Chains A and B, each alone.
Chain A
Amino acid sequence: MNTYPKFAVVGHPNKGKSSIVSTLCMNDEITISKIPGTTTKSRSFPLKVDGKIIYELYDTPGFQNPRRILEWLKTEDVSAHRKSQRIKSFVDEFADDVKYKDDIELLKPILSGAGIIYIVDGSKPYGSEFEVEMEILRYCGAPSMAIINTIGEKDFTKDWENALTHYFKMVRIFNPMKANFPQIIELLKSMSHMNEKWIKPIEEALEILKNNRVSNIKQTSQIIAQIIYKIINYRYSVNYNDSNKEIMRQKAINVYKKNIDKMEQDAFKEILSVWRHKNIKLNNYNNILADIELFSKESISLFGLDKKSIVALSASTGAGMGGGVDILSAGGSLGAGVLIGGVLGGVAGIIGVNKVLDDRLISFLGKKQITLGPLKDTQLLFVVLYRLLFFSIEIAQRPHANRKDVEINSSLKDELKITSDLKKDINKLHKKLYKSDKYKKEYSELLFEYLKKELKS
């Protein structure tokens, strides 16, 4: 028999059970709908660490027949120690009755040893009809607590608290759409106190979740550092001839912009994946380079070699031929052939590239290229960085029940608390990243510290 803690999230339909499960198990694949009765099956969401279940949450359909069930339960007067048996009898008797399908789905996890998390909507007025449900849950005799979901605009929390304390030892207020990480941890901690045996495994799980959060922040900063490095150093070249030069230049600009956008969007996707968000979309997304004028560089190449390589190869060939002369002179030239040959070859290479290669030769043996990048506009890099940081903070703070689109535009500077000192450090590293990728680590560590502070982790 499995001894890990299990929690059945139960209640009236449409009170936010699925939202609470989604936030607590950090999974945004659970369907959340404003229409009651969307959840038709009891589904378990285990939190697995290295494949081992630490605790399990059950998202259940809402009560559909509370009065009928309570009436049935009361048809036989039983003492307290046999009340849970009465629930079992009900489940057994009506297992095949379509009318009670949802109610039985709800009660099953409780009968299998799950603790009860009773959810009510604190933004709707209290009604004594809910007492019927609470009475049924009392019959189950399982460890229980109540959560007042403050998902809506109105606040009837006080009335609910007053009522719920009569039925539950623990009552907590929780908004699954706005809860931050410490609040989630706090609620899970409270849940562990429903049963003494659950305290230790849940504490262990919470420790793992906290470490995982720090690790996620680190991974996010690495993604940002990686993408900024890639954008800084990204080059795109196309071949052209004199008849299609302008068309090819425009084509190169379009592809370059598109690829930079793709890099950024890939980074957004990776950040979403790190934080296990699969259903969030970007809203008002505008391309970073949309209105930016880009400058291109033209170059020629022969046999796939650029100007620099042609000169180097020419010098190398000259040195080789000079070496031949040295050999022929039986060493008498003392290597002067190599030296002179190298210099002559190099000079010939430079002259050849600049003067001798005419268009016909290039079109026959080589090619002309238009190259875009690397991106040296530091302000533009800051725009990309701000967008990525803003997105990361937004996603890292989001509970999984909240699937609203994220607004991404180019003026997010004011949304972030970036000091002028930090900006200077970032700017220095942007310049260094152009020179070498070895500064990527330093850059990601700087971002990691910033994100950690912003996310209070």
Chain B
Amino acid sequence: VTNFINISEALKYYKNNNLESKKLFKNKKDICKNKFYTIKKWAEIVLHQKNSKTYTFTLRHIVVISVIMFFLMGIATSASLLKYSSQPVNVLYFLSVSLLFPLIGIFLSIFSFIEITTSKHTIMIDFLPLYWLYKLFKKEKTYAISIPQKLLKSYILYISQYISISFYLGILSGLIFIISFSDVVFGWSSTLHISANELHKIMEYISYPWHNLFPWAVPSIELIDKSRFFNLAKWNPNDVLLVGQWWKFLAMTIIFYGIFLRVIFILPFKFYYQKIEKDIILQNYEVLSLLRKICEPVIETNTQKEENPLVYDENAETIAKKHNYDYAILWSIDEDIEKIMQRFSINSKNIIVIYPSDSFNKITEKLVSVKGDAIFIVKGWDSPITELTDTIKELSNKSKQIDILPIGFKEDNYIPTNDFIEIWSSKIKYLHIPKTGVIQ
């Protein structure tokens, strides 16, 4: 969960920061071989830079507090179980805590594990105190990151094993402490009429895992027999010493069933939790996106320079064509001149053709005599470039009126499109050329 929280936290800082994320890695050769390692490392670096420890720090606190709390509870349980009040401590009662509870706990853990791995909804895990602690913690609203339920539950299951071990370590410590500093005697009895032999057999089954290794921790028939119906007043001091030896067996029960079996279970739970965490992290869309940014080339096409586009008034007014003009000027139109004049019914005494090859000096020469009303015929699709508009501007100074006629394609019988008219009229309006208009 630490990895998940760290990564989620770091992602908040570095959202959409492609190149910066990549720059965090000095040794670029090593990155991206292991994606999970890469993202973990990335989060570490980011959080270190941002000096953000809050989340994992608090989470660790919860776990540490739980471990200590359960250890103390173990000691308290042990102390209450071994409380000596003129009656011997009931071995069966102690066994229920040192054997039955661990076995039930392990059974529940296995059941929860199966539930988490196979089902979307779980119930068993909701029993665990850590789950309630998390819910309590979450309500504080300090927890901005939502941990996926599957990850949270597999983590709680995994951490619960440590907490359980801590509890039994507490019981064991309590047991050792009490037997070290006081004289505890044990006894047993049952209304079920269990004989000493029958109980011995049960004890042999229970202590089977260690009977070869620690035979002294297997209760003898004599011990079982002597501690049955134990009453301190009736027995001699030697028997008292003997029945005190139950502690070895009880300690081994805690060590084996309460601690050792849990240690074994930690491994698959840890492996599963880590796998879930890794899967969730590497399936997270933002993580995948970030990994891509770190591991794949970052392509950028942005420009630094701001654009300052010219904005024209697209609704400029147009004018109507006259019947007669003193001058007709054709700009870069050297074909079908007569046809064009006829097509648009243009009557003019003077027709001036500006050829594409004409130099600017030549153009000035050709236009020197222009005066009165003039029609300026241009290719509608051709842009009103500066040298053309400058020419129109100059003509407007010495003419009565300049009417611009943008013509269309030959294929369209020279009819201009609305776009041609619009482009020319807005440009002329933009340039504020006096006595000049564009013919609709």
Contact = CB atoms under 8 A, between A and B. Distances in A.
A18 to B, nearest CB: 9
Interface stretch (B68-76, B159-167, B297-305): B297-305
B120 A435 contact: yes
B299 A41 contact: no
Interface of A: 12-14, 25-27, 29-31, 33-41, 43-51, 62-68, 71, 99, 102, 121, 124-125, 127-129, 131-132, 154, 208-209, 211-212, 215, 219, 222-223, 226, 276, 308-309, 312-313, 316, 326-327, 329-332, 334-335, 338, 435-438, 440-441
**9 cross-chain pairs, A with B, having the tightest CB-CB distances, nearest first:** A331-B93, A36-B383, A64-B386, A129-B356, A330-B93, A331-B96, A13-B383, A331-B92, A330-B90
A50 B385 contact: no
A43 B292 CA distance: 29
B365 interface: no
Given A50-B19, A67-B359, A338-B104, A43 B296 contact: no
A335 B360 CA distance: 111
B303 A45 contact: yes
Contact of A334 (B90, B96, B283, B298): B96
A47 B312 contact: no
Contacts of B303: 27, 29, 43-46
Contacts of B30: none
B309 A31 contact: yes
B94 interface: yes
B383 A125 contact: no
Interface in B184-212: 190-191
Nearest to B334: A128
Contact of A50 (B22, B95, B360): B22
A332 B356 contact: no
Contacts of B382: 12, 127, 129
Contacts of B379: 127
Given A37-B310, A67-B387, A132-B356, 17 more contacts: A14-B383, A35-B314, A39-B307, A44-B305, A48-B301, A50-B297, A71-B359, A102-B386, A124-B381, A127-B379, A219-B292, A308-B123, A331-B90, A331-B100, A332-B191, A335-B100, A438-B283
Interface residues of B, number: 64
Contacts of A65: 385-387
A355 to B, nearest CB: 21
B285 interface: yes
B300 A312 contact: no
A35 B424 CA distance: 9
B298 A40 contact: no
Given A41-B307, A312-B123, A335-B100, A127 B356 contact: yes
Contacts of B239: none
B387 A127 contact: no
Interface in B289-339: 289, 292, 296-303, 305, 307-310, 312, 314, 332
A25 B296 contact: no
Interface in B378-402: 379, 381-387, 390
Interface in B154-192: 190-191
A199 to B, nearest CB: 19
Contacts of A209: 299
Interface string B13-30: 000000100100000000
A129 B379 CA distance: 11
Given A127-B382, A215-B292, A326 B127 contact: no
Nearest to B132: A313
Given A25-B301, A222-B285, A62 B385 contact: yes
Contacts of B383: 12-14, 36-37, 62
A13 B385 contact: yes
A64 B385 contact: yes
Given A36-B384, A43-B303, A65-B387, A332 B92 contact: yes
Contacts of B19: 50-51
Contacts of A309: 126
Given A62-B385, A211-B296, A219 B289 contact: yes
A71 B387 CA distance: 12
B426 interface: yes
A36 to B, nearest CB: 4
13 contacts: A27-B302, A31-B309, A34-B419, A37-B427, A40-B308, A40-B310, A47-B299, A47-B300, A49-B297, A65-B386, A66-B385, A215-B292, A309-B126
Contacts of B148: 437
Contacts of B126: 309, 312-313
Contacts of A45: 301-303
A131 B314 contact: no
A131 B355 CA distance: 12
Nearest to A438: B279
Contacts of B240: none
Contacts of B279: 438
Nearest to B302: A27
A154 B409 contact: yes
B107 to A, nearest CB: 11
B357 interface: yes
A114 B97 CA distance: 85
A71 B296 contact: no
Contact of B301 (A26, A71, A211): A26
B419 to A, nearest CB: 6
A48 B304 CA distance: 12
B144 interface: no
Interface string B366-385: 00000000000001011111
Interface string B78-92: 000000000000101
Contacts of B120: 435-436
Contacts of A208: 297, 299
A333 to B, nearest CB: 8
A132 to B, nearest CB: 7
B309 A40 contact: yes
Nearest to A30: B307
Contacts of A29: 302-303
B238 interface: no
Contacts of B300: 46-48, 51
Tell which of A26, A309, A335 has the most Cβ of chain B within 10 Å.
A335
Contacts of A154: 409, 411
B288 A222 contact: yes
B236 interface: no
A90 B269 CA distance: 78
Tell which of B93, B296, B303 has the most Cβ of chain A within 10 Å.
B303
B402 to A, nearest CB: 20
